[in-house]
Amino acid sequence: MIIDNLKNAGLYYGIDPKLKLALEYLQKTDFERLESGRYEIDGENVYAMVQQYESKPREQGAWEAHRKYTDIQYIVSGSERIGYRCTDGMKVTQEYNETRDILFLDGEGSFFRVASGFFAIFAPQDAHMPCIAEDTPATVRKVVVKVRVK
């Protein structure tokens, strides 16, 4: 898991060429002007999902992980808390869905604040619980870029 300000994205370009492509896309795109929806960057290898929603109480959150994709979650406006924990030792609550590339888990983890202008990267071994309200639910505009690893 990585968390940083988008202005520092260049520090992570060397990890993977597809990750570099995704981070450059985040740096060059004005997401205030884009409608919610899916945007292809490199076909199924790298694509973005622009979302706007109300953050929710922690009790309504769910731990998730992916196998085919790394998530880059970038906050355009608003802020939220995101939970993190390595998947090791977590209990599977819903078996892996290959079509949706998602696995649901149960366990305890750490939560951190992600504010406007910041991103978090979650690899397949990183369980995460996104969309959690800081204090009370609030509007968040976010871009999730999916970067294929398999």
Give pLDDT < 70 ranges for the chain: none
Q: What is the pLDDT of residues 55-73, one digit of tens each?
A: 999 999 999 999 999 999 9
User: 116: which 2 tokens?
Assistant: 């406007």
Domain chopping of the chain, boundaries? 2-142
CATH code that applies to domain 2-142 = 2.60.120.370
Give this prediction's pTM: 0.96
Name every residue whose Cβ is closer than 8 Å to that of residue 4 and which is 6 or more positions away in sequence: 11, 12, 118, 119
